[in-house]
Structure 1
Amino acid sequence: MPRHDSDDEPDPDEEDDFEEEPQMDRSMRHAIIVDNVPAVPKEKTEKLKGVLNKFFGQIGKIIEGGLELPTNPETGASLGYAFIEFESEAVANLAIQKANGYKLDKAHTFQVNSFEDYDKYMAVPDEEQEFEPPPFESRENLLQWLEDGHARDQFVVRYNEETEIWWNDPAKPTQEPLHSRKHWSDSYVSWSPRGTYMATFHRLGIKLWGGPSWKCLLKINHGGVQLIDFSPCENYIVTWSPETDQESALIIHNVKTGEKCRSFQGTTEPGAEMPWPAFLWSFDDQYFARLGDDCIYVYESATCKLIRDKDNKRTGIKRDGVRQFSWSPSDHIVSLWIPEHTNNPAKVVLLELPSREELRQKNLFNVADLRMLWHDQGHFLCVKVDKHSKSKKTLNSCFELFRLRDKGVPIEVTEFTKDTTVHAFAWEPKGLRYAIIKSEASNTARMDVSFYSMGSKYNGRISLIKTLEKKQASGLWWSPVGSIILLANLKGTAGQLEWIDVNQQQTIGEAEHFMCSNIEWDPTGRFVASSVSHWKHQMENGYHMWTSHGRELRHEKKEKFYQLLWRPRPPSLLTEAKEKEINKNLRLYSKRYEEEDAKVKLALDAGLLKERQHQSALFEKELEARRKEYNALRTQRIELRGGVESDAESAYTVIEEEERENIEITEEVIDDGEEIEIGGD
């Protein structure tokens, strides 16, 4: 596909479009109109003003000369209403709330409205006007990339000052980026969780891009923004800036409109590191939550207000000493970790929201550290516990595995031998297995990789599948569709890569990527990229593209390479049962795609052959032209060589010489008396 360089390539001045020109505030939102004020004669107007000043002055500050009591120009009597200006819009709104409906006496009940409401209602025409809807403006299909006929995936790469969007098409030996720009982002880029938007960072805020033309879809003002986080369904985006007042440095925005939903406090101390993500979202964007002091604040996304308790009050979930929490990826359930305190054991608690019902609790002792790891479909929760010995000199690990789909949420415990440390844990996506990397205290350099099965989603039992000993691995990367796992050693510079088919329990591919710092599977599990980022190493920057079985497809070296990120895909619309049916009959479906692949390969081979024939024809044409030119100069060559016909073969004598040399001759008598000659050229 041809390279697409946009005409509206951003320049440094473009960032000014984040902010509008400052405008003088000519509104009267800080003023109110009070009706049903007593109509009094001229001599009593000052007394009435005093009454109104006293009453409304208790609500908020009235600006100097801000109370106006209109009077009849002939008699001086008041007309039964008043205008009052406060120091701010907030005070005016409070006055409307408190004074509207207030009974001054039996005959007078205040009716209070905003001053701007007067203009709004006066602008209503006396006659009804037919509504004319605004002209329809069609938007680009933001999911068009999913309609690709070859089911290809896209990825973004950042290097130097370049940002490029690519199709991953291993069938094509040479490719051009789908879209590219210089200075597209001031720092890094980020995909939204479903791949609809790509976010870029700028001095004045964030921009979201998408669609076939990669136009800017939304601008979000937040000066100095450094961190962002999308909600799982892409309805909201959280931004944080260290340059703004930390009282409101965290802002939640609506992705569809760009409107600010609510701001929150950022860091509590100047220069402190910002915990990220600051909020954790429920799987359906209905709730978001944040850890507080001895409590968890859970908010409704639609209102940005705390959820209600059993007394219908909006409060946080109080748990003394709570240190960590995590959402289930599929249910409105949170897991909490409360460390040990005095004589109280550590606890892991499962809560259902918004009811706050406690589903399960487990007490733990001698806990040094704890991590909660959810299965991606929410079937299981693994609590990885590092326990210290009584002497507190050694650590060993164990797993507390919660089965969320069984009644009562039963827990299975996996214990390891003394002094065993688990370095990594990873659930198999869309599966029932998990993998771990472990070592013994006696030999911390030796890493063993073990695979376990949960047996079943319901009423299963944990079993060890296999242990692979002495592996060079620091991390586990499952394919997004399961079955295949990539073991990678990203510590140091070795960069060993090993692909394992867990179904067959065998290695299906091995490779090395020197200084490898990142591993990224594509969303379909067909390809995986390994890269060396300039942020970690200043040498050997670039990336390798591999198949799911470890065959290298391409190697790109890029100076100052920073990122390679696959574009995520939205969740499948198929049910779990339908996906199982497709996997069962995959060979029937694969025939069609194998035929298409064969046609593509044949077309590529034909195109390559045609190109070679074309190049050969050009060469023969050039050769024939040179021969004619050479023959045309024959007479000049004869004259220059004194009449000698140098083109004829008979004018030359070929002398062949052959030279032989014996390097070494050795004679040796062996046991049976036979003589052999050993020599070499």
Structure 2
Amino acid sequence: MAADGVVPTLAIRSSVGVELWSSAGPKQPYEHKPDLPREETKNCRSISFSPDGHYFAYSNGVEVKVLRTGSAGALWPLQCTLPRPKAFYLKFSPRGNYLCTWEHYAITKDRPEGAPNLLVYEVATGNEIFAIVQKNQTDWEPSWSSDESIFALVVGGEALFYDLDGGAAAGFASTSRKIGGSRGGMLSLGPGNCPPYLAFYTPGAKGAPSMCKLYKYPALSQNQTVACKSFFQADRVEMLWNKRGSGLLLLTSTEVDKSGASYYGNQAVHFMATNGDTCSVPLSKEGPVHCVKWSPRANEFLVVYGYMPSKAALYNLKCDVVFDFGEGPRNCAYFNPFGNIVVLAGFGNLPGAVEVWDVQKREKLTNLKCADTTLFEWHPNGEWFVTATTAPRLRISNGFKVYHYSGALLHETMWPQGQELLGVEWQQCPDNTFAEPKVSKAKQEGIKSSQPVASKKAYTPPHLRLLKEGKNPEKYLPQPQATVPGLPAAGAGNNKKKSNKAKGNPVQNRREPAINGGDADALSAVDGAAAPPVDESPRKQTPKQRAPSKQQHQQQKQNAEHAATPPADQIGTPRHINGNGHGNSSSNVEKDRKIRSVAKKLSDIKKLKARQNQGETLELNQLHKIEMEGRYLEELRALKLSA
């Protein structure tokens, strides 16, 4: 719920423009209000709220606009415009007094050395106060102290510090301190009290380990380190401070696992404290580290790690496991702003299972499914969260949904076909704007999603469905037929052709038995004449060849009469149609095949019985097969008797 008249506002960036939506309450739909900004543009690359929510900035491909947010029902006036048409990233300072813009580094004919692509503007006036070349896109963001008195960034592996106590113009004129200088160095300023603690990472080289050192600004000498942690197998490190700036987590990773054990490389988690303590975080399961998050209360952190199904565990500042969330298909963790609720989710290449946990009571509140989620963010009130399907990760079924932590769906908007949702972001609020919500298992009333839900019923094969219904599956199987309906019996067509040939050529009819397996020479001797070889190759005949002469016709007639009259010793002697004398061979082969088939089934049943005697649980179809043993035995006995 909104507090003190604060209305939750959601900034939306899409392929058609930038707009802000709000809702009057949990049961009211989110929609664009007339008093909220809206601009149609196809070139918006970034949107950003200031940490206190007083300013909203976005790029439109022509310039960067900074708006001053207002209360409900009031217009958002334009604060300033910045001449950065190619701005790719926008980032406010901790108190919202400065805005940093970054764009891709480019070389032109007019400026072959390249123009500065990282610029800092003063929000109150819109004046540019600092510009520098920053080619690194991954770690482009500069570091600020909580009171904005120190500005620092890494250029070429060297950390540059600027003191702004005397004003931005004088402070950005020259660097006050430098540290590092080796290629690949990284810097991170801790939040909390000022002067801040800072961490500087130096990658290892030539067999030397990588190293991360803690300093207390402005004491940056080599002998003034507060804590130091060295480790091997670290091509890259991600530094995560807790909210108080008293603890630092290092997520180290390598791109390639030289041992070949993991496709994802190697990951490890290390802990450093401003009191000088350092240790490696113990992980009880092998596999990659998917996510590391600090609790907003700054006294605990959560790690999701291991091969799927991954494990999730909650650690204290001594790196001891205080609670194990068990295993599940998840790779993300999100604490609400108060740290009393945490969401464990499986996004990306996982199906989108979401678990909501009460951190204080260590119990699960609910489970829900948020498929195809590419963006997740808690609302500042700590009760709602938004999930979105955005481009370019997914270009279809774009949209966003707002949930209550109990799992109730409060709002759903699906993007029109042909348009793409690029990003959503909650408006931030100053501290103490919302009271810490009281966690309850009571589920709030929500709306029904318009998206189809996949069936949770497991697929059951047809034969198992029939068994559950008490039916015999074999009765529903198609029975083999002797002939195909509508066609003559097998071999009838061939016999008809042979009979027609026999009528037209008696000599060929008498020679067929020899061709079917008899001795052709012996049969020719019995017939009393040797048949001349027949040339079956196709030849083109002339008209004279087609019309035989009278002498040829008489000779053919005499040969036919001689062939039709058998010798005296052959009259009345029966002759076998099959020269080998195996007229019943086809039926014997069929019986042998059936016997082998039944014997194999009985052998399978014997194996199933052995598995059943060992205590193994069999499937329904396997139990049904065992019940058919008696029938198979009778069938085998009948086949052997008829053989």
Q: TM (normalized to structure 1)?
A: 0.55
The equivalent position to 1:537 in structure 2, one of 384, 394, 406, is 394
Identity among equivalent positions (%) equals 18
Cα shift at 1:258 = 0.9
Shift of residue 306 of structure 1?
A: 7.4
Aligned residues of 1:530 and 1:545 also touching (Cα < 8 A): yes
Contact 1:229 1:238 (C-alpha < 8 Å) held by counterparts: yes
Q: Which residue identity is paired with 1:544?
A: K
**What CA deviation, in whole Å up to 9, does each residue of 1:147-190 have, x standing for no partner?**
96454322122345353323344444446433252416731422
Partners of 1:297 and 1:347 lie apart in 2 by 19
- How many angstroms does 1:370 deviate by? 2.8
Q: Is the CA contact (8 Å cut-off) linking 2:161 and 2:176 kept in structure 1?
A: no
The match for 1:260 is 128
8 Å CA contact 2:52, 2:96 repeated in 1: yes
Which residue in 2 is equivalent to 1:277?
140
2:334 matches 1:447? no
The one-letter code of the counterpart of 1:192 is: S
Give the residue type in structure 2 aligned to 1:360: A
Map of 2:385 onto structure 1: 528
SS of aligned partner of 2:381: coil
CA contact (8 A) 1:307 1:354 kept: no
Is the contact made by 1:289 and 1:296 (CA closer than 8 Å) also made in structure 2? yes
1:1-26 Cα shifts (integer Å, max 9, x gaps): xxxxxxxxxxxxxxxxxxxxxxxxxx
Equivalent residue runs for 1:541-620 within 5 Å:
541-559=398-416, 560-572=420-432
CA distance in 1, matches of 2:84, 2:39: 22
Q: Deviations over 1:329-383 (max 9, x none)?
A: 2242210111222253321111222232422222323445432211122121112
Between structure 1 and structure 2, the one with the greater Rg is 2
Equivalents in 2 of 1:509, 1:374: separation in Å? 29
Task: Determine if contact 2:89/2:103 at 8 Å carries over to the other structure.
Answer: yes
Q: Which residue of 1 aligns with 2:597?
A: none
The counterpart of 1:379, out of the listed 233, 246, 252, is: 246
How far is 1:510 from its partner? 1.5
Residue 330 of structure 1 is matched in structure 2 by 192
Alignment deviations for residues 653-673 of structure 1 (CA, whole Å, 9 cap, x no partner): xxxxxxxxxxxxxxxxxxxxx
Counterpart of 1:189? 47
Give the superposition deviation at 1:412: 3.3
1:161 aligns to 2:38 (yes or no): no
Once the two structures are superposed, residues 244-295 of structure 1 have per-residue CA deviations (whole angstroms, 9 ceiling, x without a partner) of: 853323221111111111221243xxxxx63453422222211221213342
Q: 1:403 aligns with which of 273, 297, 309?
A: 273
Q: Could you give the per-residue CA deviations for residues 636-656 of structure 1, whole angstroms, max 9, x where no partner exists? A: xxxxxxxxxxxxxxxxxxxxx
- The one-letter code of the counterpart of 1:556 is T
Coordinate RMSD, CA, aligned: 3.5
Instruction: Give the SS at the match of 2:309.
Output: strand
Matches within 5 A, 1:662-681: none
Given candidates 332, 346, 354, the residue that maps to 1:497 is: 354
Alignment correspondent of 1:198:
56
C-alpha contact 2:157 2:186 (8 A) present in aligned 1? no
Contact 1:322–1:336 (Cα < 8 Å) also in 2: no
For 1:507, the aligned partner's letter is: K
**CA apart distance, 1:218:** 0.7
Separation (CA, whole Å) in 1 of partners of 2:51 and 2:288: 33
**Aligned-pair distance for 1:397?**
4.5
Question: Residue 226 and residue 308 in structure 1: after superposition, are their counterparts in 2 closer, same or farther (change >3 A)?
Answer: closer
How many positions carry a matched residue from both structures? Answer: 418
Query: CA contact under 8 A between 1:306 and 1:315: conserved in structure 2?
Result: no
| Cα distance between partner residues in 2 of 1:235 and 1:568 | 15
Name the aligned partner's letter for residue 477 of structure 1: Y
Which of 151, 162, 173 lines up with 1:299 in the alignment?
A: 162
1: distance between equivalents of 2:28 and 2:432? 31
- Aligned residue for 1:415, secondary structure, equals coil
User: Which blocks of at least 5 consecutive residues in structure 1 are unaligned?
Assistant: 1-145, 268-272, 455-460, 574-578, 602-681
Counterpart residue number, 1:351:
215
**2-side partners of 1:350 and 1:299: how far apart?**
19
Amino acid at match of 2:32: P
**Structure 1 counterpart of 2:392, which letter?**
W
Indicate whether 1:436 and 2:299 are aligned.
Answer: no
Question: Hey, what does 1:659 align to over in structure 2?
Answer: none
SS of 2:338's partner is coil
Cα distance between partner residues in 2 of 1:568 and 1:375: 19
Q: Deviations over 1:490-537 (max 9, x none)?
A: 213722222111222222121112211110100121100111113321
Question: Distance between the aligned counterparts of 2:350 and 2:251, measured in 1?
Answer: 29
